Amino acid sequence: MGTHSPWSGRFEKPLDELVQRFNASIGFDQRLAEEDVAGSIAHAKMLAAQGIITRDEAAKIIEGLDSIRNEIRAGTFAFRLDREDIHFNVEGALADRIGAVAGKLHTGRSRNDQVALDVRLFTRQALEQLQGDVLNVIDALIDRAAEHTATILPGYTHLQRAQPVVLAHHLLAYVEMLRRDYARLSDARGRLAESPLGAGALAGTTFPLDREAVARNVGFPAITRNSLDSVADRDFALEFLATTSILSVHLSRFAEELVLWSTQEFGFLIFDDAYATGSSMMPQKKNPDTAELIRGKTGRVIGHLVAALVLLKGLPLAYNKDLQEDKEALFDAYDTAHDCLRVLEGIVRTVTFRTDRMRQATTEGFLNATDLADYLVTRGLPFREAHGIVSQVVLFAERAGKTLEQLTLEELRLISPLFDAGAQTALDVDQGVLRRDLPGGTSPRRVQQALEEARNWWSVEVGRQTAADTQG
């Protein structure tokens, strides 16, 4: 038969064995072991400083917690199902080692505020790690972009060839997305950095706890302001999941382009052998499975966000056991995003861009049609009229089986007498790219400026992360 924990003395019947397994979270929340021990050590130090327990008692508790942490790190700590969760496992093991004094650790504390602190500490670490991962991918993108400030390929709308751009400009578009993701991760870190310890079960405690001291000890600059909210809400976890979902969508969009570009139909890139797989039947196949998995795992992360939103939407104040279900979603979303970022960095650093195929693709599909319309505007024609004339030119070229560049001046003048010798210059793809010389544009000069700005931003953020790690 199952048993209740030794802290549940009011029960006369043992817990049903199925319920014991159903109720237990130690199978997954043991991942919070480091955070639980760190929070407990901070709490013990504060209890001693406040005179709630003696310094000798605190020293004995902290020594026992340190030994437990060492065993957890060594992988030798025995997690027990009958102790239900990470909190009872740590406290139970502490009692086994130092006796009844271990029971004083829980003075002024509930598992409700304890787990709220643990999850905040884990989420902070997860956000910090993902920020580092994002910086690594940005670094890889900047490095590859720097190689291709003059490589021209088609830009697309509706997956149809639209206008020429340089490859560096295309890669820097993802740098911009990832920079916003980085900022969202940073914002989320700032909002969760409040210690809930001292909220107790829901109403605070009668003991004179120094909540600010605990917050400082665990590296949080502030404490939560309402005891009910402290234990009841997980919006910081929702924000993590939402931010990670947006990040994953950006990764998925890039992965989709990598998959498309690796097809024979596009032929714009070749995956490195270390990041591709073969077929069990077809010997010739080289499949972009890594990018496909990044694309596929995005649905998994979004699913965790939806699950967490639904989990919280109907919960009355304050704590409810439903909140036990937040952790697996949080853990898996972090693991998934972390792995996807690391794999994507490797893909970006090793992929071979086929610049010849990219350039060839710009000669098909009338990508310079807008340039021809812009040229007519410089001749005094309203753009809408110029658009209509060039539409007729495109139709004429299609029927003649020619590109726009292959049309003679006489053929162009059949459509409009405004065309003169300058039309041929307007149709030159390289010149068209050079003319897009405004901030945010795809001209090599502007792209070079964007590269320098991105690299400077990256250097500053890496410096901040390094400084934070050193202080931590």
Which residues are catalytic, by number?
158, 279
Q: 403 CB contacts (<8 Å, ≥6 apart)?
A: 363, 364, 366, 397
Q: Tokens 């853990």 appear where?
A: 331
Half-sphere exposure of 268 (CA within 13 A, CB side): 17
Among 303, 316, 326, residue whose Cα is nearest residue 234: 326
Q: What is the dihedral of CA 323, 329, 331, 337, to 10 degrees?
A: -150
Q: How far apart are CA 203 and CA 226, in angstroms?
A: 9
Q: Which two tokens stand for residue 51?
A: 């005179």
**Residues 216-239: b if buried by 16+ CB within 10 A, e if exposed:** bbbebeebbeebebbbbbbebbbb
Distance CA 249, CA 298 (A): 6
Q: Which residues pair with 155 in a beta bridge?
A: 163
> Which residue is it, tokens 């997690």?
79
Residue with tokens 């065993």: 71
| Contacting residues for 435 by C-beta, under 8 A, at least 6 apart | 371, 443
Characterize the bridge pairing of strands 269-270 and 352-353.
antiparallel
Residue type, 86: I
Closest CA to 24 of 40, 1, 5: 5
